[in-house]
């Protein structure tokens, strides 16, 4: 997969999704999709990746600020996300 959150094979990196939580190196299985309307255009979809342990805390963080759009499986991300 060469989408918005992966590296191409020519980069020499492994195509692995890593949790965005500080200090966590676990494999991400969820994508927390958000947008800060004061900084981003309406169609912009920012993404934080989350492992099972951090999905709720990352989603709660952006939801508390009114930025949460949705939480989806990592595999559901498209080139429009990121």
Q: What is the pLDDT of residue 2?
A: 42
Residue spans per domain, the chain: 21-76
Q: How do the pLDDT tens digits run along the chain, 82 residues long?
A: 444 454 444 455 556 899 999 999 999 999 999 999 999 998 899 999 999 999 999 999 999 999 999 999 999 998 888 7
Task: Report the alpha-carbon angle 77-1-82, nearest 5.
Answer: 35
Contact in structure between 49 and 17 (CB atoms under 8 Å): yes
Helix residue ranges per DSSP H, the chain: 55-64
Q: What is the pLDDT of residue 6?
A: 46
Q: What is the pLDDT of residue 70?
A: 97
Q: If 0-12 CB within 10 Å is exposed, 13-18 middle and 19+ buried, where does residue 33 land?
A: buried
């Amino acid at each position: 997969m060469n989408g918005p959150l992966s590296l191409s094979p020519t980069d020499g990196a492994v195509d692995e999704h890593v949790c965005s939580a500080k200090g966590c190196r676990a494999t991400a299985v969820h994508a927390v999709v958000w947008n800060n309307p004061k900084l981003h255009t309406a169609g912009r979809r920012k993404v934080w990746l989350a492992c099972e342990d951090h999905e709720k805390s990352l989603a709660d963080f952006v939801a508390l600020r009114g930025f949460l759009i949705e939480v989806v499986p990592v595999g559901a991300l498209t080139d429009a996300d990121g």
